[in-house]
Amino acid sequence: MTENSSIAYWKDTLALIRNMLIIWFVVSYGCGILFASALNNISLGGYPLGFWFAQQGSIYVFIILIFVYAKKMGKIDEKYDVHED
């Protein structure tokens, strides 16, 4: 791997991690705490949406983030030819 491709690889990797952390923050802190009062006007399964995000929705989003991260990281690895065989 050349130095330029190594720098590009890490730039793509860090961008992916940054985006995943932003989504994580918005869902956990934003939907569960900051926007909870606004989300509580919406009901999901008989419970206020803000409460649902704080208790269960964030867990579902975190699990989805794990799979999205793994898939996108695999594509980045293949792009720079550092994937496992």
List the domain boundaries for the chain.
Answer: 3-79
- What number of H helices and E strands is found in the chain? 4, 2
Residues in the chain: 85
Average the pLDDT over 12-19 and give the result: 98
Tell me the mean pLDDT in the region 41-59. 86
This prediction has a pTM of: 0.81
Check residue 82 and report its DSSP letter: -
Helix axes 3-25, 58-79, angle to 10 degrees: 170
pLDDT band with cut points at 50, 70 and 90 for residue 46: confident
Hey, which residues does 44 pair with through a beta bridge? 47
Q: Given pLDDT bands bounded at 50, 70 and 90, which one contains residue 30?
A: confident
